[in-house]
Structure 1
Amino acid sequence: MTAAPAETEAEFGRLTSAGVAKFREKIGLDWAYDRWTTWNEEATRDGIRHYAFGFGDDNPLYVDPGHGARSRWGGIIAPPGFLEGAGLTPAIPRRPEDRGRGKGALSGVHMFWAGDHTRYFNPVREGDRLWVRRFYVDIQEKESRFGGTSAVSVRRRVYWNDRGELIAIWDADFVHTERDAAAKRNTAKIATPQHIYTSDELLVVDEHYARETVRGAEPRYVEDVEVGEAFEPRYRGPLITGDVIAWLQGNGRSEIYPYRLGYQNRQRMGGFYSRNGDGAWDSAMRVHWDDGYAQSVGARRAYDYGMLRNAWMMQVITDWMGDDAVLVAVDDRITGFNVLGDLTRLTGTVAAIDTTGEWPEVVCEVQCTNQLDENTARGTLRVRLPSRERGLPAFPAPPADHGLLEGMAEPTEGPWAR
């Protein structure tokens, strides 16, 4: 589709067909991670531990060097979601006609992380230097429960290490909505009073925390798993601002910089910033700690990051499957806001055992439900468990035609390029 001329672009904060057409110019164009925007250029021991602790995971395979050394991996590996804040983009030749492609499209239109479709081909090991290519592959207009007329874009990231091994291909879905439309559509929900927890309710949550277990070095064999088997329910919350801070300490966000660096960031991506209630410049990320701003986009209060619930759902499975298993695929959908004060209950079952491929894959379904009995996320995760008959599972073979590992050179543009 030919992009709409710049003079027909909608005003700031409006979602129109012209804006979507302009955004479509970005498809296939690398959106590079440099040393300004990546959180972990390398999978260090500290970086892996900080990420795991950031969403409440103390699995010894991620945080205990001795335990990792005794495992099949020979050392610490990272939780699967570690990639979200990791990797540099190599120097990629730019065509003159690509300069400015899609710039300013849908500026001021809010974006929600809406889901993930990830395929894993290798683990991230301690010491791995990580590379990534990131680009949009699609955007479509549609109706959204988040805010009426909307658009859904798909951003692909392809990760590999210095050895040239493909680690994962990760597609993320984003819903684009107008802030005013979303707020008006969700007026009733915004007015819903927040639940105040009793001591007895918090005791129940603590009892569940005390019962959580990590399978660890004890193998869970595929022959012992039955369809319909339920995972032990887990609780996360009630969500507090400190939980959001802990997540940011581990996962990072390039949009949040202070002082001179904050000023420099505003020069790079001014449409991401607006004046807060005090009149100061602040990023759109404040939906995660500023109740008033979050309500302007249709949430009851400030809310978590979709990737935090993605990490919780994966933790249910990685704790259950044990050190010898491999998580090979995750498909999840964020279906609602998880706001400050909400209590999330994670439940799930073994939905199927797929024996059609090279190795049996256990298909697991996991759901997130809040204290109002609203579903806020759900996921389908596929696991390869060890077998008494066949031994240890391997990751799936990477696709031979992805064509994205060329060019391992250092980045030559952006802050701190060598």
Structure 2
Amino acid sequence: MSEVPTAPKADILQSDEWQKAVDYSITDEDIERQRALLGFDQAARTREYIQVATEDNIRNFAHGCGDDNPLFTDPDYARKTRWGGIVAPGMMTGVINRPMLGDPVPDEIKRLRKSLFKGIHVFVSGSTWDFYRPVRPGDTIYSFNGDETCEVKASEFAGRSVITVRRDVKVNQRGEVVAVYRILRVLTERKTAAKKGKNLSIQPASYTDEEFAAIEAVYAGEQVQGANKRWFEDVEKGDTLGKQAKGPLTVTDVICFHAGGYGFVPYAPTANRLAHKNRQRIPAFYVKNEHGIPDVAQRLHWDPKWAQAIGNPMAYDYGVMRENYLYQYLSDWCGDDAIILHVHDEIRKFNYMGDVQMVTGEVLAKRTEDGQNLVDVAVKFVNQRGEESVRATATIALPSKANPLPMYRDVPRDLAHKAAQMMARHWELGGK
């Protein structure tokens, strides 16, 4: 892939607005302030699009990911499973949140956060999930979060970058930890990314009728294990998890993911008066388009010119879209009675408009631990250019002849105690 020395010659990229949009740098002071914030947890006051799980929003979220698994979408089917009703796809927990009340943020923390990494582009580059309970209709999800790590690295894509991991602890209305979600974020300078322009030589994908028919054939052959138990005794190291297709990616896919419940709060796309209020609240998040209209910086997921402005050839997906596609792949394979306990993924390449991902996996190992029968699996997404765009591992508890209904792991005692304290304080402060 050849190096492209300059950004594309679109009018927006030559304007003062473009220069203003990209003229932000990562500073040593920002890095020092970020490191000073490590270990501080606070109640998440974000009011997401979804605050309480319902049969409808669980189904809509699954459908927004292209997932038709009846365990998530068909109440009559789900009532006959071990769960007795609809449960949410595990990673949906990441988009559900009702504001948790907590003590005021100390002034020192506020000073450290003020204008931190202003104008710096943020990529979700992977995540780690630990699941402890299912989310059912009627469950309200709260959370508390804080940054765990901060590293500075030289990035192939954008020169200097900062890599942070934020831990989100997801808690239900009973004060029980449902999941722990660790988000890997890469912060890069927009001007550096645009100047390097490494990816700008990538051409949009196109398909002949025969090539598209081959993609459709993969979809047609996909299997959902569902009510058919995948017995631990029948699984061996090296077994394949099958093959699934994801894509070709379109703007419609991004719209469906938002419509399914991905709010991107507090930077959510908004319209008219709400957009006006948002522009006053976070002006740095709005950059004029080629028509002189301020629009959200996240439009790089559907606006090709703005995507080019930060050094990419075209718009691309949210990393969390592929993470949820990963969960679908795993849940389709393991069946209704299994429990996905742990998932780790790395987003290694962009997924551009028109790209198709082929998802494959294999069993790495099988073991028995604390009475549970576990399999470790590896999964990868490979695009039509032959590039590995996602690399992932997962641990799944499978049913066995001796233990036909595997269970979730216990929540670490210190984490369970902290979650109970956080929820107790929420109720003390009059939380709903």
Give the structure-2-normalised TM-score. Answer: 0.89
Partner of 1:363: 376
Is 1:31–1:135's contact at 8 Å kept on the other side of the alignment? no
Residues paired across the two proteins, number:
402
Moved more, 277-286 or 88-97: 88-97
Distance 1:303 1:318 in 2: 25
Partner of 1:299: 312
Q: Superposition pairs for residues 18-417 of structure 1, below 5 Å?
A: 18-27=29-38, 28-30=40-42, 32-35=44-47, 38-94=48-104, 95-187=106-198, 189-250=199-260, 251-254=262-265, 255=267, 256-402=269-415, 403-408=418-423, 409=426
Change (3 A) 1:186 1:357: farther
Change (3 A) 1:274 1:54: same
Change (3 A) 1:142 1:300: same
Is 2:373–2:400's contact at 8 Å kept on the other side of the alignment? no
Is 1:111–1:176's contact at 8 Å kept on the other side of the alignment? yes
Change (3 A) 1:411 1:83: farther
Alpha-carbon RMSD: 1.9
The 4+ residue runs of structure 1 with deviation greater than 4 A are: 410-413
| CA distances 1:342-383 after superposition (whole Å, capped 9, x unpaired) | 111111111111334441211111101111111111110110
Partner of 1:3: none
Structure 1 residue 12: Cα displacement: 5.8
Distance 1:84 1:59 in 2: 19
Aligned-residue identity in percent? 35
**Aligned AA for 2:373?**
P
Distance 2:294 2:90 in 1: 34
Change (3 A) 1:12 1:31: farther
Is 1:19–1:105's contact at 8 Å kept on the other side of the alignment? yes
Structure 1 residue 410: Cα displacement: 6.3
Query: Which consecutive residues of structure 2, in runs of 5 or more, have no partner in the other structure?
Result: 1-21
Structure 1 residue 117: Cα displacement: 1.0
Structure 1 residue 265: Cα displacement: 2.0
Distance 1:411 1:17 in 2: 40
Distance 1:282 1:22 in 2: 29
2:25 is paired with a residue whose SS is: coil
Structure 1 residue 198: Cα displacement: 0.2
Distance 1:142 1:354 in 2: 36
Is 2:45–2:101's contact at 8 Å kept on the other side of the alignment? no
Change (3 A) 1:198 1:390: same
> Structure 1 or 2: larger helix share?
2
Change (3 A) 1:204 1:243: same
Distance 2:282 2:145 in 1: 17
Distance 1:55 1:75 in 2: 20
**Aligned AA for 1:58?**
D
Distance 1:33 1:382 in 2: 31
